[in-house]
Structure 1
Amino acid sequence: MLRTFTGRLSKMAALAASVAVLATAPRPAVADNLADALIGAYNSSGLLEQNRALLRAADEDVAIALSALRPIVNWTARIQSDYTKSGNGLTSTSSSPDTFFTGLELNQLIYDGGAARLGKQAAQETVLSTRQSLVQVEQQILLRAVTAYLSVLLQEEAVGIRQNNVRLLGEELRASEDRFEVGEVTRTDVALSQSRLANARANLADANGALTTAHAEYINAVGRHPGRTAGQPSMPGLPRSEEDAVALALRNHPALLSAQHQVRALELGIEQQRANLGPNVRFQADLGLTDDFGGSNFNESATARMIYSQPLYAGGRLAATVRRIMAQRDASRANLLNVQRDVTQDVSDAYVRYQTADASLTASDERVRAAQVAFDGIREEATLGARTTLDVLTAEQDLLDAQLARVSARTERSLAAYQLLASQGLLTAERLGLAVQIYDPTLYYNMVKDAPAAISKRSRDLDRVLEALGKK
């Protein structure tokens, strides 16, 4: 019986050692790493595709605004039937001639106080704003992928620790039963071991459930099932101080840049609306043929005219339109101030979060070391009868809590580091050097900014681009 008891203690020692090194054990070299998760999220995100399409729509608004500066040519064909009746009280005559007209109509803006030009510039500012919004969406997608990866990693490590805890407590229960048989402990000690083991199994079931939930979020964020994670990612380059981080964010954050372009677009919109209150000069020309059905008469005509117009009164609509866009401009300026403050606060929060997580990890490492020493000592003292089963179980639980806290602290530090990158506007595929085909927002814009005609080489190039995007 004593040999059996000694064998149980040897197994317990081996299991305790495995618990101690679990959190630092190397992962398989072929496992998925954080870069794999980020690449998957970037390549499969429907939200990114949605916002890229919205950007292309904003690009087309520039072409539409440009078209107002160009001539408009329409071809018209018209069949007309007129009925007339005339008389003098004694006799009357009636006729219903049918006529056919076909011709070309040209309309060209000559002068509008710069309204059309300002409309194009406002559309260009909207494009720049939308580009920055796309960058912000990209940051959100990548940060979600970072969070999903670290969550899976955290839950995997937690499951591993709890599995070892269940095995260790199972050995401790068997050791308690052996010691009870030889009269070294009471039935209470056995019951304590049974209770701790049951609780450990319940906690393991909870950890497995949390891991399943983390897998589901990973699939949603990355677009595929996770493989075995490769462990904690390396720390990205971080700013030397909070002040440096804030200064960089105020120059670079996409949300702030987007808000700045929104303000500029509305300021140009105000100038455009005011220009619309001034005179407008257009050139119009018609060239056509009129033919009488059933007769031999026809008429070829060509006309040209300059039309000058000046808004005088429109029921108050003109002034109200200017005031409305001025209010929108003021709201956009207020939003810019809010965004600037939010960016500053987000950087400060992320910086403090990282510093706190780093300090917590240092303390957790020390806690694990001390808890391991205490557990080893109490376990040895228990074999000599100087400690009770409850003391051993309590020390083992303290070690378990310390190991779980260290895993959480390590994950929190990694997440805080990448959140700090995002708060500065640096969490993008290009800045991270991901092995993906970076989406170029200028490619489509450069093809449509000159508003190419439907029948042109540029239009055919656009057709090929749309086909490649799978949108046509």
Structure 2
Amino acid sequence: MVGTAFKKKLAVGLAALVLATPGATSADTLADALVGAYNTSGLLEQNRALLRAADEDVAAAYSALRPVVDWTARINRTFGNSASANSGFRTVGSSNTSATYELSIQLTLLDFGRTRLAIDSAKESVLAAREGLVTVEQNVLLRAVEGFMGVRSATETVALRQNNVRLITQELRAANDRFEVGEVTRTDVALAEAQLAGARSALASAQGTLAQAQEEYVAAVGRRPDALVPPRAIPDIPASLDRAKALAVRNHPDMKKAQREVTVAELNIQRAKAEFNPTVTLNGSYGVTENFQSEAQSYGGNVGVTATSRLYQGGRRSALLRQAQARRDAARSNLHVVQVGLQQAAGNAWAFLQSTRAARDASARQIRAATVAFNGVREEAKLGARTTLDVLNAEQDLLDARATLITATTDEYVAAYTLLYSAGLLTAEHLNLGVQQYDPSAYYNLVKDAPHVSQQGKKLDRVLKALGKN
């Protein structure tokens, strides 16, 4: 049967294309692509570094609970001339050199919670930054899925177009043969020639699309694609639209980040209010002064407690308080905006998935019907009951159906992973990818207490060296 021959030629054409692809020495799965994207993404590395910078804000805030110790060293040289009755009004020169060494300490005893609030605010900001990193991870993995399926779709389309060119070439050859014996007119030959030219144009366009898809794959995954293995199954997705929306609101990192930002804004209001209270500090110093001229030394120090409060600053503190309250209101409004946006995104992803599934099933039925029609028209043309145009049109219908199926199948996988993205589940942990997952708490645990010269500080130096940042 002609349909069987068509399928065999399509399979041979696809195999030939894969073998002819440069570097196609192994096969990559979708999981391989996701692993490559996770391990090579510069965007992930950038945001991990930004998260470590946010971790240091906690250390900087925590340091305010500790004393500030300064040392000072000064050398003074004094000189001059004087005239007095004691010297008979003669000008007498004098000079002296002295050195002072001083150690001073200052410790905040009471600031009505400003420092603790600053630490809590910095911690919440870190947690918000972690959620932002999860969003970036989801973006990276979704781009890898789209890149993988884009190359798969473009590869299959090129193979389909190549097979179409071969078939129309055969039809043109048959039309010429029939024209030579007077069975058809020159018009039939011209129709076949026009169809062949269109098929070659479509093939060139498909090859260009494949080249672009391969470049996108390189950007998303970090290497050129080898032969790509079709995914075995659609990933596990929420069972219903309501379930998808509920997961999006509860689990998506954008929602969690917005919630953390509300908490930060509320803490900043408390900090602004605490600025109206006084500050109590312990101050102490101890120093040595050495006079080189008289070879005398003096020692001394002082200890005291100081309470300070700013009485007037031109309304600055009140303005900062109102600003913090306005930012709190904005953060709460953003929480609502994010919730609505996530529900909409989940709804869109669900609708996209359902439509792609319907399109895939319809395309499969269309292919079956178009194959029967093409085979029948071709047999009827051999008997003179159909024209060359009828054959070409039937063949084009079958080609369009196969192309639609390729697109629908690709879109179904992308839609499924987009639905996971909208639910906050498109992560290396949830997908169980074979990667060394980045632990955002490892660095934080080393720096949160503001280590300096200590065993903890030495551990931090080793971590930074391992990261190549020191």
C-alpha separation in 1, matches of 2:142 and 2:56: 30
Q: CA 1:18 to 1:322, structure 2 compared with 1: closer, same or farther past 3 Å?
A: same
| Residue number among 66, 74, 77 corresponding to 1:78 in the alignment | 74
Check if 1:417 corresponds to 2:407.
Answer: no
Deviations 1:334-393 (A, max 9, x none): 222111111111011101110111111111111111111110111111111111100000
For the Cα contact (< 8 Å) 2:148–2:217, is it kept in 1? yes
For the Cα contact (< 8 Å) 2:10–2:163, is it kept in 1? no
For the Cα contact (< 8 Å) 2:3–2:371, is it kept in 1? no
The residue type equivalent to 1:76 in the other structure is T
For the Cα contact (< 8 Å) 2:80–2:94, is it kept in 1? yes
2:263 matched to which residue of 1? 264
C-alpha separation in 1, matches of 2:72 and 2:423: 57
C-alpha separation in 2, matches of 1:20 and 1:226: 22
C-alpha separation in 2, matches of 1:447 and 1:231: 44
1:461 matched to which residue of 2? 459
C-alpha separation in 2, matches of 1:289 and 1:388: 113
- Determine helix, strand or coil for the equivalent of 1:387: coil
2:8 matched to which residue of 1? 18
C-alpha separation in 2, matches of 1:172 and 1:301: 108
C-alpha separation in 2, matches of 1:442 and 1:51: 14
C-alpha separation in 2, matches of 1:326 and 1:97: 59
For the Cα contact (< 8 Å) 2:10–2:160, is it kept in 1? no
1:471 matched to which residue of 2? 469
Deviations 1:285-324 (A, max 9, x none): 1011111122222111121010001111012212112122
1:57-76 → structure 2 map (5 Å cutoff) = 57-76=53-72
For the Cα contact (< 8 Å) 1:173–1:194, is it kept in 2? yes
- Determine helix, strand or coil for the equivalent of 2:27: coil
Deviation for aligned residue 1:457: 1.0
2:406 matched to which residue of 1? 407
The residue type equivalent to 2:401 in the other structure is A
C-alpha separation in 2, matches of 1:461 and 1:65: 21
Q: CA 1:162 to 1:202, structure 2 compared with 1: closer, same or farther past 3 Å?
A: same
Q: CA 1:323 to 1:374, structure 2 compared with 1: closer, same or farther past 3 Å?
A: same
Deviation for aligned residue 1:128: 0.1
Deviation for aligned residue 1:451: 1.1
2:48 matched to which residue of 1? 52
For the Cα contact (< 8 Å) 1:18–1:164, is it kept in 2? no
C-alpha separation in 2, matches of 1:85 and 1:313: 47
TM-score, normalised to structure 2, is 0.93
For the Cα contact (< 8 Å) 2:235–2:417, is it kept in 1? yes
- Determine helix, strand or coil for the equivalent of 2:449: coil
1:3 matched to which residue of 2? none
Deviation for aligned residue 1:406: 0.4
C-alpha separation in 2, matches of 1:67 and 1:267: 22
- Determine helix, strand or coil for the equivalent of 1:98: strand
C-alpha separation in 1, matches of 2:13 and 2:318: 69
The residue type equivalent to 1:49 in the other structure is E
The residue type equivalent to 2:70 in the other structure is N
Deviation for aligned residue 1:180: 1.2
For the Cα contact (< 8 Å) 1:284–1:304, is it kept in 2? yes
1:41 matched to which residue of 2? 37
1:69-218 → structure 2 map (5 Å cutoff) = 69-81=65-77, 97-218=96-217
For the Cα contact (< 8 Å) 2:248–2:423, is it kept in 1? yes
1:312 matched to which residue of 2? 311
Deviations 1:115-134 (A, max 9, x none): 00000000000000000000
For the Cα contact (< 8 Å) 2:26–2:226, is it kept in 1? no
Deviations 1:159-179 (A, max 9, x none): 010010011111111111111
Check if 1:334 corresponds to 2:333.
Answer: yes
Q: CA 1:120 to 1:387, structure 2 compared with 1: closer, same or farther past 3 Å?
A: same
For the Cα contact (< 8 Å) 1:71–1:108, is it kept in 2? yes
Q: CA 1:367 to 1:60, structure 2 compared with 1: closer, same or farther past 3 Å?
A: same
Identity %: 49
Q: CA 1:105 to 1:84, structure 2 compared with 1: closer, same or farther past 3 Å?
A: farther
TM-score, normalised to structure 1, is 0.93
User: Which shows bigger deviation, 258-267 or 106-115?
Assistant: 258-267
1:279-428 → structure 2 map (5 Å cutoff) = 279-428=278-427
Deviation for aligned residue 1:13: 6.0
For the Cα contact (< 8 Å) 1:15–1:168, is it kept in 2? no
For the Cα contact (< 8 Å) 1:19–1:161, is it kept in 2? no
For the Cα contact (< 8 Å) 1:73–1:106, is it kept in 2? yes
2:440 matched to which residue of 1? 441
Deviation for aligned residue 1:103: 2.2
The residue type equivalent to 1:39 in the other structure is V
C-alpha separation in 2, matches of 1:314 and 1:88: 51
C-alpha separation in 2, matches of 1:14 and 1:180: 27
Q: CA 1:63 to 1:208, structure 2 compared with 1: closer, same or farther past 3 Å?
A: same
| Residue number among 26, 32, 38 corresponding to 2:28 in the alignment | 32
For the Cα contact (< 8 Å) 2:30–2:145, is it kept in 1? yes
For the Cα contact (< 8 Å) 1:15–1:164, is it kept in 2? no
Structure 1 gap ranges (5+): 1-9
The residue type equivalent to 1:259 in the other structure is A
C-alpha separation in 2, matches of 1:86 and 1:353: 97
